[in-house]
Structure 1
Amino acid sequence: MPRPAPAPAARDLRDALALIAHDPSAYLETSHPVNPAGQLAGVYRHVGAGGTVARPTRRGPAMMFTSVAGHEDARVLVGLLADRRRVATMLGATPSTVAHRLVEALDRPLPPVVVDEAPAQERVHLASDPGFDIRRLLPAPTNTPTDAAPYFCMGLLLASDPETGVSDVTIHRIAVQGRDELSIFFSPGRHIDVFRAKAEAAGRPLPVTINMGLDPAVVVGACFEAPTTPLGYDELQVAGGLRGAPVELVDAVTVPERAIARAEIVIEGELLPHVRVAEDQHTRTGRAMPEFPGYSGPAHPSLPVMRVTAVTTRERPILQTLVGPGEEHTSLAGIPTEASVLQAVERSMPGFVTQVHAHTAGGGKLLLVMQVRKRGPRDDGMARQAALVALATFRELKNVILVDADVDVFDTDDVMWAMTTRMQGSTDIVVVPGVAGHVLDPSQQPAYDPAIPAPGVTSKTIFDATGPFAMRDEFARAAFMDVDPRPWAPGLSFPYLDDAAPAGSAR
């Protein structure tokens, strides 16, 4: 596997922004006034959202909005991770090696450390103070006019198991319900929901912090899931491994929990036992917000409630958000998925799987393209075995496309070509029915197929678009002379060549 270069030094979001701020194709700052209620997402839909967002959309630069209606002191950043090349740059890798970078971090984790002082606590707003209202304090955006509420979409929850004290971090959709009240949607099996259920069974609230505006290494590292990072594994160790320096934590001001010391914004509070609210209790839209598959899912009728006790921030804080179905979700969910699969298949069949791509059409969760290198007739079966390993490694994965080593997993046209010329539907499609999937895929519902017993159960499919080893000569692609075109076309950009070797060098 390719070995990434050392990661650039970055302790927080501001350091990460400095790595791309010089590049207008990667970062755009605007002082034109914007309303966070729908307008901000509507703007970025055209600028750089990409992903499964309804067309027209595109991939483009991250945007910093410095004039946000009703919030003179706050800035809103959207789309920081909405481009794979941008993510790779901030993590010291290339688009093709960034998942391998995460595998290295998994193999060399570095636990967080506790510090006494934190930039995240430069300003403290107590919920007990007269006039406290999180709605006026922070510009939580809505993506669409039918959103159930304003949402914090990039809030990293940090909480601890009330029985063992082991901490965990996860990202959830967080709706603003009142001056000091948030609702939190937990997908089935998420670790902090396990902590919440334990505390609730004992009749106690669960102290939590919500950390926003973070080093991308922290956010991406937090998106690993079991079995790669099982219950009891602190994903902040992955960020430490990525940066080669531990994530700094600090004691929260009002609850017995810790916060990320160099966050832009921290919300402190408690998940209340036996208290539930409808996600759209104030709007009654029936919809939550647009999620990664590209649809606005139904508002949840009964969600746990977090009572806010304080908000702490840096001076002139940056609220980081995303467009729900955009390319940013693919980076957040997909790159850790790729790393998890790479690690698992390398352990079970070393050297056989050379590259994987969690495709944006599946929001980084539902669709994986897997490149294999066949060396003999037995490898026809090993390719499908590798797909089964991937499906077992990442529960929410739905479809796997297998391709040969001459196919670029990051080029959809190339993948579709392989499916068109190296696959027969009658022999090369393998279906595994009745397997756990993801509740946000609207096709995984009994209403779609009565054979589905409950939401989030699906048929998983392997599309084997690899040529049979015995026919390898017939599937050999036309071979062109290997020439570096840059001396003839100096004004054109060839990122794949720039990643591989300096101009003029042998490739």
Structure 2
Amino acid sequence: MSEKKTTPPGVEVYDLRSAIELLKTYDDEYIETNEPVDPAAELSGVYRYVGAGGTVMRPTRTGPAMVFNKVKGYDDVRVLIGLLASRQRVARLLGAPKEDLGHLLRNSVKHAIPPVVISNDNVPCQEVVHLATDPGFDLRTLLPAPTNTPEDAGPYFTMGMCYAADPETGEHDVTIHRLCVQGKDEISMYFVPGRHLDQFRIKAEEAGKALPITISIGVDPAIEIGACFEPPTTPLGYDELAIAGGLRGRAVELVKGVAVDALGIANAEIVIEGELVPNYRVQEDQHTHTGKAMPEFPGYTGEAKAAVPVIKVKAITHRKHPILQTCIGPSDEHTNLAGIPTEASILDMVERAMPGLVKNVHCPSPGTGKYVAVLQVGKRGPQDEGRHRQAALLAFSAFSELKHVFLVDDDVDIFDLSDVMWAMTTRYQGDVDTIFIPGVRCHPLDPSQDPAFSPSIADHGITCKTIYDCTVPYALKHNFQRSQFLEVDVTRFIPDFKM
């Protein structure tokens, strides 16, 4: 499928500020306020109503991105929330129809452009420099890290692009992690088991060394989307910044840190430089003792971990009047960050194995971008009967944290969950169209994946993966033709009508 560019003529997105300028050209994508806001729970409490969506507790909705120009206690820093909390907005920022984003990202992986290191002269992210050795240095007073709720373990950076190198090979990886501010120069970093940066950290720790790392906040949204690819599409040592390069058609620019031997994103609003300290752990909620971390993508607040690694901050650099970007954990921002790369990974694996069978993939909001995928298949003859279920098995291989796969025919709109449910209602029989795959490792943040929930589950994080085959048997297709309506030009009757 070709990707039709939809970016307005003359508009180019290359950093966060140009992305905001693009959104301002639309009536419904961006708002800002000068009303002072408290970053402790109030900011997220506002946006919960304005535009969070996702698995956030109702009432919520899909709405515009929002900038708070006045943050209590911080004269110079603005906060942006919800930049990617709408699939339509992601499509506009990446310049493609929202239905084609999976195909667009798949193509960007195939045409990846590695990042490049540029000179430190006049780099945007280093217009202002704060060194940890400066008198009075305190990241808590420099940056307004928000808390999502009053019971969070502490303030969190939720949209930081964490970038580090394998201490043995020099290969780089960029990922988004849960980062809790623990002190004036300490940030705890939670790793889901298996994450690549954690492998780098373990290697450095086993050698008794600190791992230099940067956290770039407020970047081109192509970088944020590209950073969320996972194995096998991006194996250990694959630098996902190259995917952002492929999306934009030019290399992401990096710059050497001012205080650590690591690279930051040159056009970032803020870069935190530090080192993951070997053999040093802290209790994630050591200052609040709530037992809770922060709201995570499944819609529940994550458990505070008893012992998490720590980044010792060495410097903070930023643009003048910087914009700190944040998100609400269970909002649709996560759905798009995780789900669109997952769609691309599934499309690529299935297309290589069974060309032409799967037309499109959608990882919808209720599935958090990680747990549910809807595959649109086009059976071309009797030989494709059963192969569509093989495609579902490949989807589980393409993304290991996937829990449920729905298979639907190519006359079903996979981006309309009402249409998917219609297919399940009229083209699915539970006893013959449900395929269970029990005892498979999935994701630890799903609270139902625990022995306390079901005796069939052997350990926390183990699940029963399920395929729901909502397709019509090929031999019966003639009995399942949707009603065909007359094609008309509605604008004759309603001139400003838009689908």
The residue identity in structure 2 corresponding to 1:275 is Y
TM-score, structure 1 as length reference: 0.96
The residue identity in structure 1 corresponding to 2:5 is A
Q: CA deviation at 1:24?
A: 3.2
Aligned residue among 54, 59, 63 for 2:62: 59
In structure 1, what is the Cα distance between the partners aligned to 2:463 and 2:360? 26
**Residue 4 of structure 2 is aligned to residue 4 of structure 1:** yes
* Structure-1 residue corresponding to 2:151: 146
**Residue 438 of structure 2 is aligned to residue 436 of structure 1:** no
Aligned residue among 232, 246, 253 for 2:251: 246
Q: CA deviation at 1:6?
A: 8.1
The one-character-per-residue Cα deviations of 1:306-355 (angstroms, maximum 9, x if unpaired) are 00000000000000000110000001000000011111111111111001
In structure 2, what is the Cα distance between the partners aligned to 1:486 and 1:330? 34
* Structure-2 residue corresponding to 1:354: 359
* Structure-2 residue corresponding to 1:505: none
Check 1:36–1:24 CA distance in 2 against 1; reply closer, same or farther (3 A cut).
farther
The residue identity in structure 2 corresponding to 1:409 is I
Q: Secondary structure in 2 aligned to 1:451?
A: coil
* Structure-1 residue corresponding to 2:388: 383
**Residue 326 of structure 2 is aligned to residue 315 of structure 1:** no
In structure 2, what is the Cα distance between the partners aligned to 1:50 and 1:453? 33
> Is the contact between residue 297 and residue 368 of structure 2 (CA under 8 Å) also seen in structure 1?
yes
**Residue 477 of structure 2 is aligned to residue 490 of structure 1:** no
> Is the contact between residue 151 and residue 176 of structure 1 (CA under 8 Å) also seen in structure 2?
yes
The residue identity in structure 2 corresponding to 1:31 is N
The residue identity in structure 2 corresponding to 1:67 is K
> Is the contact between residue 490 and residue 497 of structure 2 (CA under 8 Å) also seen in structure 1?
no
The residue identity in structure 1 corresponding to 2:366 is A
In structure 2, what is the Cα distance between the partners aligned to 1:401 and 1:24? 35
Q: Secondary structure in 2 aligned to 1:144?
A: coil
The residue identity in structure 1 corresponding to 2:111 is R
> Is the contact between residue 52 and residue 331 of structure 2 (CA under 8 Å) also seen in structure 1?
yes
* Structure-2 residue corresponding to 1:116: 119
Worse overlay, 482-491 or 452-461: 482-491
The one-character-per-residue Cα deviations of 1:52-71 (angstroms, maximum 9, x if unpaired) are 00000000000010011101
Aligned residue among 288, 297, 302 for 1:297: 302
In structure 1, what is the Cα distance between the partners aligned to 2:234 and 2:212? 22
> Is the contact between residue 9 and residue 243 of structure 1 (CA under 8 Å) also seen in structure 2?
no
* Structure-2 residue corresponding to 1:40: 43
Superposition map of 1:321-336 within 5 A: 321-336=326-341
Aligned residue among 31, 34, 37 for 2:34: 31
* Structure-2 residue corresponding to 1:479: 484
**Residue 79 of structure 2 is aligned to residue 76 of structure 1:** yes
* Structure-1 residue corresponding to 2:165: 160
Q: Secondary structure in 1 aligned to 2:382?
A: coil
> Is the contact between residue 4 and residue 100 of structure 1 (CA under 8 Å) also seen in structure 2?
no
Superposition map of 1:172-183 within 5 A: 172-183=177-188
In structure 1, what is the Cα distance between the partners aligned to 2:177 and 2:270? 16
> Is the contact between residue 266 and residue 312 of structure 1 (CA under 8 Å) also seen in structure 2?
yes
Aligned residue among 267, 274, 289 for 1:269: 274
Worse overlay, 48-57 or 477-486: 477-486
* Structure-2 residue corresponding to 1:128: 133
The residue identity in structure 2 corresponding to 1:12 is D
The one-character-per-residue Cα deviations of 1:106-132 (angstroms, maximum 9, x if unpaired) are 010001111113100000001111111
In structure 2, what is the Cα distance between the partners aligned to 1:492 and 1:138? 45
TM-score, structure 2 as length reference: 0.98
The residue identity in structure 2 corresponding to 1:222 is A
The residue identity in structure 1 corresponding to 2:142 is L
The residue identity in structure 1 corresponding to 2:30 is Y
Q: CA deviation at 1:491?
A: 3.3
> Is the contact between residue 24 and residue 61 of structure 1 (CA under 8 Å) also seen in structure 2?
no
Aligned residues: 494
In structure 1, what is the Cα distance between the partners aligned to 2:30 and 2:335? 19
The residue identity in structure 1 corresponding to 2:173 is D
The residue identity in structure 2 corresponding to 1:260 is I
> Is the contact between residue 86 and residue 333 of structure 2 (CA under 8 Å) also seen in structure 1?
yes
* Structure-2 residue corresponding to 1:450: 455
* Structure-2 residue corresponding to 1:282: 287
Q: Secondary structure in 2 aligned to 1:472?
A: helix
Q: Secondary structure in 1 aligned to 2:23?
A: coil
In structure 1, what is the Cα distance between the partners aligned to 2:454 and 2:34? 49
Task: Flag structure 1 segments of 5+ consecutive residues without an equivalent.
Answer: 495-507
**Residue 379 of structure 2 is aligned to residue 374 of structure 1:** yes
Q: Secondary structure in 2 aligned to 1:427?
A: helix
**Residue 228 of structure 2 is aligned to residue 223 of structure 1:** yes
In structure 2, what is the Cα distance between the partners aligned to 1:366 and 1:466? 20
Aligned residues with identical type, % of pairs:
59
* Structure-1 residue corresponding to 2:239: 234
* Structure-1 residue corresponding to 2:431: 426
* Structure-2 residue corresponding to 1:196: 201
* Structure-1 residue corresponding to 2:22: 19
Aligned residue among 394, 405, 423 for 2:410: 405
* Structure-2 residue corresponding to 1:497: none
* Structure-2 residue corresponding to 1:500: none
Worse overlay, 443-452 or 291-300: 443-452
> Is the contact between residue 428 and residue 469 of structure 2 (CA under 8 Å) also seen in structure 1?
yes
> Is the contact between residue 6 and residue 97 of structure 2 (CA under 8 Å) also seen in structure 1?
no
The one-character-per-residue Cα deviations of 1:356-409 (angstroms, maximum 9, x if unpaired) are 100111110000011000111232201101100001110000000000000000
> Is the contact between residue 4 and residue 101 of structure 1 (CA under 8 Å) also seen in structure 2?
no
In structure 2, what is the Cα distance between the partners aligned to 1:435 and 1:490? 54
> Is the contact between residue 327 and residue 333 of structure 2 (CA under 8 Å) also seen in structure 1?
yes
Q: CA deviation at 1:282?
A: 0.4
The one-character-per-residue Cα deviations of 1:28-75 (angstroms, maximum 9, x if unpaired) are 011111111001111000000000000000000000100111011000
